[in-house]
Chains A and B, each alone.
Chain A
Amino acid sequence: MTRKNLPALADLIEAARRIEYHLPWPRAVVAPQVWNLAVEQLAKGRWSLLGLWGEPDKVHMALLDEALDIGVISLDCRGGRYPSVGQYHPPALRLERAAADLFGLAPQGLPDTRRWLDHGQWGISHPLAAQPGGPAAAASYRFLAAEGESLHQIAVGPVHAGIIEPGHFRFTAGGETVVRLEERLGYAHKGIEGLMAGASLDRAAKLAGRTSGDSTVAYSLAFARAVEAALGVAPPPRAIWLRALMAELERLANHLGDIGAICNDAAFAIMHAHCGVLRERVLRAADAAFGHRLMRDRIVPGGVTGDLDEAGANAIRSLVAEIRQRFPHLVELYDNTASLQDRTVATGRLKVELARQYAAGGYVGRASGRDFDARRAPGYAPYDELAFDVPVLQEGDVNARVWIRVREVEQSLSLVEQILGRLPAGPTLVEVAADGAADGPREGMALVEGFRGDILVWLRIGEGGTIERCHLRDPSWFQWPLLEAAIEGNIVADFPICNKSFNCSYSGHDL
């Protein structure tokens, strides 16, 4: 096949049965052959998987092709079965296991059929299927084997030593060296997608904002954008800019916290202390400007609640001035401390090929050569009018992930200044008509760059303006498996620093 004849996602969707109301990107119901053709593009590394989620009788796959076009293809699952994507494209494995747990969909050929989110504790099985089943047995979980002389296992979690979210890590080590790490997640599964079904837009927005606490702004933004796409609502210009302001403050707070915490895991407490002060300053400025330290429930479909007054804008201006004054000294300290660099350089290296294969978002991908930022492409307002760089490194070690964050702090400071300087006047909220879906269901989708990477929200609004189905895909789905790869061959004692440099979300993944 010559390159010219390679299928483009748009052609593939054009040729299939296209869904009328699905915005801003197209969705089509495809035949199994076309589904398999798309899987082939994934397996060959031409396209990237943005998400895979189920419905009682369907499975959907969001794809990104080489031209950075986005589209969703759907397959009707006869008898609850469909050809597994994960057997050819491993990044889909856990997504398929999750869809199997929730909807009872059976991916044919899936190499790993262990349950993922369902730990046998819910009292029912397949809770989101048309007809949920009886209680699943709490079978013991068979961890993958690692064989060799003198290997031993270390079990960690779900309750960890620090103030951390719940999850289980099973290390197999030869002496100090990690031979295999296997994660077991799902402990924080709250059934958010189940609660979403039938929820009003107000309630659903609150749930979306509580999917991952550190990304509450990004999730609220992604949810609001998906609703607005579905219903054809245009939020006022001032709201669009205020949203970006909040998103950049959230990015600043998290990156500053992470840079300090990574250094703390190398026992370099002074960086942690100083970065912690800067993080607290961001949260206080956010509180002064928007009335909540984490800016929770401030972004809603149709705009933002409340407005930024002059005092709030000044609080943010003095915040930027303080970080600009203090942060360079901390960066210099990080860069010039050999004992710290000794812990971060060449530790937890993630290969460029793996980051690409898994379409790893955020600093995990960008530290391993994946030049992707949802603010730039597909892009959304107001970033098309703002100047910013997307830092990319090739090394893929803990050090590179620190540096990406450092550079992104600098970019976010500049973005905050640009936004404050050009903030348009006017209203901040338009009404979202609750009966917007009177003539049939409307589907919308959004891809938003949170601090951790791109968050995907897909939803369908049904009769009465309530949510029929909403899927939220955290960037961690494609980062957690890479942590398992990055830690291999490192010493057990370096796991905390590697883990913190990834800083994957448990709650966002477990939903």
Chain B
Amino acid sequence: MRKLLFESLIRPPLTERPPQVSDAAVDELARALDGAARKRLGRSLSIRAVDAGSCNGCELEMHALNNAFYDIERFGFRFVASPRHADVLMVTGPVTKNMREALKRTFDAMPNPKWVVALGGCAKDGGCFAGSYAVVGGVSDVVPVDLHIPGCPPPPIDILKGLIALLDGANGRGGASVS
């Protein structure tokens, strides 16, 4: 272990440079965030992930955000274990009918102010599962969605861009507040 730790000291860091935020994402977020909320949150966001019936692909890329390349905590983002600690609900999957109630209850358990990020193609409109007897067909049918990050699954860098936009994008701009 000492050897591994020593190597970590002399090897250059693996961490990626912070990504540039795409303008479209900023605009989408500006509408969702207001300055007051940002002041209250500072530079940190706690995220609660809910898998509402995804194939697990989005979860794999969410996990990747914690690896040494993306190191999501350096931006102040943290995945938390309870909705009571969360500012952001990150939802994946087409929302199966069997998960609808659990998703709603998780959202209801979060304190205000709060935001919902729908991750991946299924979370937007059910993706290739739309029309099934067993899916609702999109996160926004169950809880209000503030940001959608597309992809199947979205690569970690895209998720990161979306989240940074969620923090920084609203800076100095007005928008609809989340009640």
Contact = CB atoms under 8 A, between A and B. Distances in A.
Give the secondary structure class of B's interface.
mixed
B95 to A, nearest CB: 10
Contacts of A188: 51, 53-54, 93, 96, 98-99
A166 B58 CA distance: 13
Give the secondary structure class of A's interface.
loop
Contact of A158 (B4, B59, B102): B102
Contact of B4 (A123, A279, A296, A329): A329
Contact of A507 (B5, B53, B131, B134): B53
Contact of A506 (B50, B56, B61): B56
A333 interface: yes
Contacts of A123: 97, 133
B65 to A, nearest CB: 9
B97 A122 contact: yes
Given A122-B134, A212-B55, A279-B67, A195 B129 contact: yes
Interface string A269-297: 01001101101100100010000011010
A273 B68 contact: yes
A361 to B, nearest CB: 18
Interface string A177-218: 000000000111111101100000001001100111110100
Contact of B59 (A163, A191, A330): A163
B132 interface: yes
A127 B54 CA distance: 21
A192 B129 contact: yes
Interface in B34-58: 49-58
Most buried by A among B4, B63, B98, B127: B98
A112 interface: no
A189 B55 CA distance: 10
Contacts of A121: 97-98, 100-101
A160 B83 CA distance: 11
Nearest to B63: A163
A190 B96 CA distance: 6
B55 A191 contact: no
Nearest to B49: A163
Contacts of B3: 329
B162 interface: no
Nearest to B70: A280
Nearest to B59: A163
B152 A296 contact: yes
Contacts, number: 153
Given A277-B14, A277-B67, A162 B81 contact: yes
B138 interface: no
A277 B101 CA distance: 36
Nearest to B1: A333
A132 to B, nearest CB: 8
Interface string A88-128: 00000000000000000000000000000001011110010
A296 B83 CA distance: 31
Nearest to A199: B128
A125 B131 CA distance: 16
A212 B98 contact: no
Contacts of B169: none
A161 interface: yes
Contacts of B128: 195, 203, 206-207, 210
A501 interface: no
A368 to B, nearest CB: 25
Contacts of B133: 122-124, 127, 191, 194
B79 interface: yes
A188 B103 CA distance: 12
A506 B133 CA distance: 19
A487 B135 CA distance: 32
Interface in A321-356: 329-330, 333, 337
Nearest to B93: A188
A194 B134 CA distance: 9
A187 B1 contact: no
A270 B4 contact: yes
B106 interface: yes
B66 interface: yes
Contact of A164 (B59, B68, B96): B59
Contacts of A162: 49, 79, 81
Contact of A296 (B57, B64, B96, B101): B57
Given A296-B152, A329-B4, A337-B1, A190 B132 contact: yes
B112 interface: no
A412 interface: no
A191 B134 contact: yes
Interface string B131-151: 111110000000000000000
B54 A161 contact: no
Interface in B64-78: 64, 66-69
12 contacts: A122-B97, A161-B81, A162-B81, A187-B53, A188-B53, A190-B94, A194-B134, A195-B128, A214-B57, A279-B67, A280-B64, A506-B56
Interface of A: 119, 121-124, 127, 158-159, 161-166, 186-192, 194-195, 203, 206-207, 210-214, 216, 257, 270, 273-274, 276-277, 279-280, 283, 287, 293-294, 296, 329-330, 333, 337, 505-507, 510
Closest 4 CB pairs of A and B: A213-B57, A191-B134, A191-B132, A161-B81
